[in-house]
Chains A and B, each alone.
Chain A
Amino acid sequence: MRDKQIEDLKDYKYGFSTDIESFKAPKGLNEEVIRFISNIKKEPDWLLQWRLKAFERLKVLKEPDWQKAKYPKIDYQDLYYYSAPKSFKEKPKNLEDLDPKLLETYKKLGIPLQEQKRLNGIAVDAVFDSVSVATTFKDTLTEKGIIFCSISEAIQKHPDLVKKYLGSVIPITDHFFATLNSAVFTDGSFVYIPPNVKCPMELSTYFRINASDTGQFERTLIIADKGSYVSYLEGCTAPMRDENQLHAANVELIALDDAEIKYSTVQNWYPGDKDGKGGIYNFVTKRGLCKGKNSKISWTQVETGSAITWKYPSCILKGDNSIGEFYSIAITNNHQKADTGTKMIHLGKNTKSKIISKGISAGKSDMTYRGLVDISKNASNSTNYTQCDSLLMGNKCGAHTVPYIKNKNSNSNIAHEATTSKISEDQLHYCQQRGLNQEEAVGLIVNGFCKEVLQQLPMEFAVEAQKLVGISLEGSVG
């Protein structure tokens, strides 16, 4: 049974591409393209000005190169910055109006919108290339006053909220990729949870890059007002292509007093083939701001895809007593490279943060945990606990740990632990003795190794993630 499953999944199963005519902006990165995007999305003037300001800033910024994973230079003039399925020029009103081919794609992806709606009770905001396809479960959410829509829609319908919070965590003056996103972002999700509302279901987005030569620049903005709670899921896939594609998203989270945001990602972008050809460059900026007192932001990520993953979901703990958490599993195989970790910036008093990172590298891949814990002068009584463990399979891969620890407050404590090892022979032997074959034994041990993080995922995702962990390591033992 398991063998069959593996056989099915062995090759990247999301590697089909959908034949839908798409509507693109002219190639290249310039003021015209930005005006084009802004115009086609019927954006207000302030946003166009905001984009242009970001573009001005971008011109003076240099692409960073300090990361471990090097990649050939990206020609930013050779990309399409906007691509939408043609039938989307007039946005469909409900699911029945959707292009059947599109629905088919989602079915292959395993998120039949309609079934999901019925069975899972998850509200999905699917992003197909750059335009949000349809948002399900809207009515249930509207009742509670929760806004869950595409960011383009939010710009039209809730401009005050967007204007107030957009760029408040990742300013347009930030680093290169974040600023690039600010200039050309096309779509993404927007969530607003009103005060004292607990969102009754998990909110979810599914990203998919379809058209070739396009960069996907989505922008997600989640605001949890006082005393509210939301759990948000994000999943990613892309078709198989020989060339590399860029994905530079920005995700901003804002938690006000007593609010909590839980953000989970299962990232399974196309990792390139066995020789390291093709695959997604996943250069994403994710940042959460615990703005209010007693607020909490928790990131959970399972990173198994992408040719290069380069991201550091961070928490700025500004409010007193706020909490930041980061749970991560990163798995690299073949020629994949990952340089990921987190930043915990403690500004308020009594702030707490916890980092659990599990890295597994196999094949010829390279895995780096890079993190920053910074406790500032005023953040008294703050604590941080960090644990990062790496597992190596074979001697052609690498596992690295690069934590930066800054403690400027004598009442605060920081503890950091890291270990690197291989799967112990004894454990393998024990499992095999009890009848598991070598691959099953490795799968079991790896799942145990990751358990601390997998537990943090919502149920529906945990199952998928557990499967992914198994698949990603396929063929790496023996």
Chain B
Amino acid sequence: MATETFVVAYENKEGDDGLLDYAIARAKKDGAALLLVHILEWSPYKFLTPQEIEERHARRKEELTRAKEVILDPALAKVSAAGLQADCRIRYGSVVELVAEIASEAGASMIFVGRSGTQSMTARIFGSVPLGLAQIAPVPTVIVP
């Protein structure tokens, strides 16, 4: 039985393999379980056309299925194959806020997040997920290059 839980903010973008490998290595060392968190960026204030509104429920179902089957299931299999306890959460909303919230709810002791890998103007003005977590994370956060 794992004594503590590490949260991994898992996007499945390029470089997230390294993030997962690092989190697995640290969890093995500390005897921790991994909680993989995948957030689908969503704002309840985003404008939708009537057609998009009609199809939204169906699209959401598809998006959730895809996130589970294509993104999280292979990652969970990798964590389990390493002999670690693994669980996952998929949520809609703001990535930074939800990762911090789930870490608190799960009583996690650490968060692992991949670096954003971008220097775009948008990231400079509005920040990125690692920067956001650095500001509001309730527990120590590791940014994995």
To the question of whether A and B form a pair in one complex, the answer is: no
Measured CB to CB, the residues of B under 8 A from A are: none
